[in-house]
Structure 1
Amino acid sequence: MSKLTPSEIEKLKKNLKEKGYKLTPQRRAIVDIIIRNEGDHLTTEELYDLVKVECPEIGLATVYRTVQLLEELGVVSKLDLNDGCYRYELVHENENHQHHHLVCSECGKVIEVQGDLLEVLEQEIESKYNFKIKNHSVKFYGICSECKKN
């Protein structure tokens, strides 16, 4: 489990303040839940269910607005697994691009692939098409090892 470093928290506070926002207790609780559940690729509704345990007064609209704000600030990225729901995950400062994902068609499990495997392909595309790539998203769909056993 990865934690935001004190410098990353300060950077988040600074980004919020520059845009006229504060790191309220509700926003901080949402960020904490995202950090504690890193790798789980939670939907907004799942985040809401978890945050509500710690902040019973929080509303779903607050969670939606906060997740949208965190995405705008680059703290989280939106992941579309073509299942009708957007999921969110932390963005780490050292990542140039979103990492790749393996999605099990049977159980829905999402596995993160570490490392950027497309650097050479990106360079070829940039050169051939005179196009500067800022990011990419790759998802592989198949059957995980658990489901293959069954």
Structure 2
Amino acid sequence: MEQQTPLNILKEKGYRLTPQRIEVVKLVLEKLEKKEHPTFNDILNEVKSKMPSISASTVYNILKLLEDNGVIVSFEHNGRTYYDKVEPHINVVCADTGKVLDIYNEKILEELRNAGVVPTSVVVKAICGK
């Protein structure tokens, strides 16, 4: 049985695997594996360094396609869109440092489930200090 990779998911749903889609998916997966939370601009700038002719709207549309197909999730903070893995966890956005931390707290996630909420990611804004 073939593993359900993001590219396989798109291909099975009838989307063409264009060089642009492949590059954006590859980049996003690399950043998420490193537990980074890339912003739209992070992704756009890095993809443009490899594919100078790619447009911002193409990158945006690819990210939207990935989100619409359950490959990634996004959240907003201070006018920036961050992208993340689809897995139950808490994103702590540090207002003072700008960092985003992943917290896995089953007790909190279970309380959400008990309230009828199925969390894919929860965003908490905090002061984290140095």
**Identity of paired residues, percent?**
31
1: CA distance, partners of 2:28 / 2:100 = 16
Tell me if structure 2 keeps the 8 A contact 1:101–1:139: yes
Match of 2:61 in 1: 65
Tell me if structure 1 keeps the 8 A contact 2:75–2:82: yes
Question: Which of the pair has more CA radius of gyration?
Answer: 1
Greater Cα offset, 21-30 or 60-69: 21-30
Q: Which runs of 5+ in 1 are unaligned?
A: 1-5, 127-132
Match of 1:24 in 2: 18
Query: Cα RMSD (Å) of the superposition?
Result: 2.2
Question: So what's the TM-score if we normalise by structure 2?
Answer: 0.81
- 1:118 to 2:108 alignment: yes
Shift in alpha-carbon separation, 1:34–1:138, aligned structure 2, 3 A: same
Q: Give the superposition deviation at 1:111.
A: 0.7
Amino acid at match of 1:17: K
2: CA distance, partners of 1:57 / 1:141 = 36
Tell me if structure 2 keeps the 8 A contact 1:34–1:90: no
* Aligned residue pair count: 127
1:111 partner SS:
strand
Question: So what's the TM-score if we normalise by structure 1?
Answer: 0.72
Greater Cα offset, 12-21 or 37-46: 12-21
Match of 2:126 among 142, 146, 150: 142
